[in-house]
């Protein structure tokens, strides 16, 4: 568990001093070198130890410390320093998937049986962590469950908590988790975390730095491609040493009935199982309770007394794209529920506090007509259900364009532990299903949406001809990106001199081809 307080106090803040690969094999000596180096800056070893929050000593060399801006600038000018990076907050990216991928325990020649169900493997996960006391793990009142039979049921999990509900994911914590994962001997790292624009260079990006050294130690690192689509140039975690995965949908939906006061019923989607269900509440249009010349989805511009205790209908717009933001506004004005009208989208809002039901514009328009025709419009919500095999899939979710992902895999509405705190024929995937790019209107997906294609675990057993990538390929890639010899040499602890022949990015050995227009 990692948590860095990023609050600036008296001009002090957290900086990450990145020194590249380790110069010594013994972690204790690496840590001691950090104390010795910083003591020369701060005046004493005691001050250095008090300042350092993390000493990265297993997978690479560096430390996170509380420093002033002038101290950080002074350190950055020292020889042997790859970079000094101000700590920033990353964001986490948001089970039927194994059936959907045909990964089943009863297939004799399937990937599960041939891999011995993952026995002996250690899978590391960087995210919000696991809370054993969560109600999700309480068996009382639940029928006897079968043993886990899908995924990698015999593998070990190493879960590193780097993200917090109120603080996001600190860069210093993320690097500490990468460092510990190397020490723990994990085989695969799953990292659904990323930054927002402007994006950092590879020697300043904590995920790129941590994954580079993890891959150098033989760990496969899998990263999400981001949540900022479907707009161009939004893919993140693009370092070639990681497998960047775009999220696709699966054939599962979460229908939630909305019953009107006239006993008519419409259906939306939601992820909510709390209170305020099966009880009628007044229904209002968000625009009707907004102050004059105000944004209906802004709490400070909403007539709060008109919203209190009511279900509010909001429409997605250019200024209000997020159902999550609308939900917060409804909470701020003491509303008891949200119906959010939006463009077709398979991503469902997780709401633990009030019902937040997503509908399309046609249903929302029907609700408006009902409100106009009724003197006292009311609605109630049903419990969310799960419908399997009821929708076209896979569909590439709103994320990367321009910079393409490596592959696509199920990643939309895949549920982790819950804590209290008209059809068109498009390109077909290996399962004979359409691959569609999310957005309005829908379009045929292309390599900039799905990269190398939708993942097929069973066919990975016999992938065909492989031209593998290694550290030397990544070094040539960094040379072609314009990084200097000194920085690359420090990252790898191997003398590097970039050659003129490495100037083209097209020389990178990846299983894809790009033709410039």
Choosing among 3.30.565.10, 3.40.50.200, 3.20.20.210, 3.40.50.1240, the CATH entry for 91-250+396-461 is 3.40.50.200
Q: Which distant-in-sequence residues (6+ apart) come within 8 Å of 457 by Cβ?
A: 101, 102, 103, 111
* CA torsion, ordered 265, 266, 271, 273, to nearest 10 deg: -10
Q: Which pLDDT band holds residue 155 (cuts at 50, 70, 90)?
A: confident
Question: Phi and psi of 469, rounded to 5°?
Answer: -100, 150
- Reported as a pLDDT band with limits 50, 70 and 90, residue 11 is confident
Q: CB count, 10 Å around CB of 291?
A: 12
The pLDDT of residue 157: 86
CA distance 282 to 88: 43
204 DSSP 8-state letter:
T
Are the C-beta atoms of residues 17 and 172 closer than 8 Å to each other?
no
Q: What is the pLDDT of residue 22?
A: 93
pLDDT (0 to 100) of residue 60: 96
Average pLDDT over all residues of the chain: 75
Distance between CA atoms of residues 262 and 241, nearest Å: 58
Per-domain boundaries in the chain: 12-87, 91-250+396-461, 255-381
pTM more than 0.75: no
Where residue 293 falls (left for φ over 0; alpha for ψ -120 to 50; beta otherwise) is left
| Higher pLDDT, residue 17 or 355 | 17
Token pair belonging to 303? 């007539």
In angstroms, the CA 190 to CA 118 distance is 15
Query: Cα separation of 473 and 479, whole Å?
Result: 10
Q: ∠ CA(478), CA(480), CA(485), 5° rounding?
A: 55
Better pLDDT: 435 or 510: 510
Distance between CA atoms of residues 69 and 50, nearest Å: 17
Contacts 24+ apart (CB under 8 A), 260-264: 260/367, 260/370, 260/377, 260/378, 260/379, 261/374, 261/376, 261/377, 261/378, 261/379, 262/370, 262/374, 264/370
User: Which letter, b or e, does each residue of 417-452 get, where b requires 16 or more Cβ atoms within 10 Å of its Cβ?
Assistant: eeeeeeeeebeebeeebbbbbbbeebeebeebbbbe
Range 172-177 average pLDDT = 96
Q: Is the pLDDT of residue 89 over 70?
A: yes
Query: In this predicted structure, what is the pLDDT of residue 49?
Result: 95
Q: What is the mean pLDDT of residues 172-190?
A: 95
What is the CA 340 to chain-centroid distance, rounded? 23
Q: How confident is the model at residue 92 (pLDDT cuts 50, 70, 90)?
A: confident
pLDDT bracket for residue 110 (50, 70, 90): low
CATH class for the domain made up of 255-381: alpha beta
Q: Residue 91 in contact with residue 65, Cβ under 8 Å?
A: no
Mean pLDDT of 412-441: 38
β-bridge pairing 311-315 and 337-341: parallel
Beta bridge partners of 269: 255, 358
The continuous run of DSSP H or E covering 47 comes out as: helix 45-51
d(CA 241, CA 253): 34
The whole-angstrom separation of Cα 203 and Cα 126 is 20
469: pLDDT confidence band, cut at 50, 70 and 90? confident
Reduce the DSSP state of residue 123 to 3 states and report it: strand
Q: In sequence order, what E strands does 342-487 have?
A: 356-359, 378-381, 387-388, 395-396, 407-410, 436-437, 443-444
pLDDT in tens, 316-346: 765 556 677 788 888 888 898 899 988 765 5
CB atoms within 10 A of CB 22: 20
CATH domain 12-87 topology: Alpha-Beta Plaits (3.30.70)
- How many of the other CB atoms lie within 10 Å of CB of 207? 26
CA–CA separation, 90 and 174 (whole Å):
9
Q: Is 513 exposed, middle or buried (0-12, 13-18, 19+ CB in 10 A)?
A: exposed
CB-based burial label for 481 (10 Å; 0-12, 13-18, 19+) = middle
**How many CA atoms lie within 13 Å of 160's alpha carbon, on the beta-carbon side?**
30
Beta strands at 311-315 and 252-253: parallel, antiparallel or unpaired = unpaired
Q: If we measure between CA atoms, which residue out of 276, 345, 343, 342 comes closest to residue 311?
A: 276
Most confident of 11-15, 45-49, 193-197, 239-243: 45-49
- pLDDT given for residue 105 in this prediction: 53
If we measure between CA atoms, which residue out of 177, 180, 189, 191 comes closest to residue 215? Answer: 189
């Amino acid at each position: 568990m990692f948590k860095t307080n990023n609050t600036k106090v008296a001009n002090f803040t957290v900086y990450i001093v990145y020194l590249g690969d380790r110069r010594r094999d013994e972690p204790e000596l690496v840590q001691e070198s950090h104390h010795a180096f910083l003591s020369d800056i701060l005046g004493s070893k005691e001050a250095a130890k008090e300042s350092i929050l993390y000493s990265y000593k297993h997978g690479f060399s560096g430390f996170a410390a509380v420093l002033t801006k002038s101290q950080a600038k002074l350190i950055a000018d020292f020889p042997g320093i790859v970079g000094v990076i101000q700590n920033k907050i990353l964001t986490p990216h948001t089970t039927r998937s194994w059936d959907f991928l045909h990964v089943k325990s009863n297939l004799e020649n399937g990937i599960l049986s041939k891999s011995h169900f993952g026995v002996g493997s250690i899978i590391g996960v960087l995210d919000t962590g696991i809370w054993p006391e969560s109600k999700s793990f309480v068996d009382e009142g639940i029928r006897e469950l079968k043993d886990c039979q899908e995924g990698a049921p015999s593998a070990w999990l190493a879960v590193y908590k780097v993200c917090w509900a109120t603080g996001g994911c600190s860069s210093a914590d993320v690097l500490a988790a990468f460092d510990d994962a190397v020490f723990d001997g994990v085989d695969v790292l799953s990292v659904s975390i990323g930054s927002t624009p402007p994006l950092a260079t590879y020697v300043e990006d904590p995920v790129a730095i941590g994954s580079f050294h993890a891959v150098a130690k033989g760990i496969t690192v899998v990263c999400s491609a981001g949540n900022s689509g479907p707009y161009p140039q939004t893919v993140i975690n693009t370092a070639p040493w990681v497998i960047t995965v775009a999220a696709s949908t699966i054939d599962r939906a979460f229908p939630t009935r909305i019953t009107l006061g006239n006993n008519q019923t419409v259906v939306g989607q939601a992820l909510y199982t709390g209170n305020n269900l099966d009880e009628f509440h007044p229904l209002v249009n968000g625009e009707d309770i907004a102050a004059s010349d105000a944004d209906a989805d802004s709490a400070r511009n909403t007539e709060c007394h008109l919203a209190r205790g009511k279900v509010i209908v909001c429409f997605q717009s250019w200024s209000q794209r997020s159902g999550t933001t609308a939900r917060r506004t409804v909470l701020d004005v003491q509303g008891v529920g949200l119906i959010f009208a939006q463009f077709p989208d398979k991503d469902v809002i997780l709401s633990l506090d009030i019902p937040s039901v997503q509908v399309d514009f046609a249903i929302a328009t029907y609700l408006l007509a009902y409100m106009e025709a009724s003197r006292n419009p009311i609605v109630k919500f049903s419990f969310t259900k799960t419908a399997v095999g009821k929708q076209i899939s896979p569909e590439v979710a709103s994320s990367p364009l321009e910079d393409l992902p490596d592959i696509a895999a199920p990643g939309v509405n895949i549920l982790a532990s819950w804590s209290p705190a008209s059809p068109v024929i498009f390109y077909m995937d290996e399962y004979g299903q359409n691959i569609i790019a999310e957005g309005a209107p829908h379009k045929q997906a292309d390599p900039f949406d799905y990269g190398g294609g939708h993942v097929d675990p069973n066919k990975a057993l016999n992938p065909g001809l492989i031209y593998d990538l290694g550290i030397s390929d990544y070094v040539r890639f960094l040379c072609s990106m314009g990084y200097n010899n000194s920085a690359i040499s420090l990252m790898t602890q191997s003398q590097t001199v970039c050659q003129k022949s490495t100037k083209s990015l097209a020389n990178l050995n990846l299983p894809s081809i790009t033709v410039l227009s």
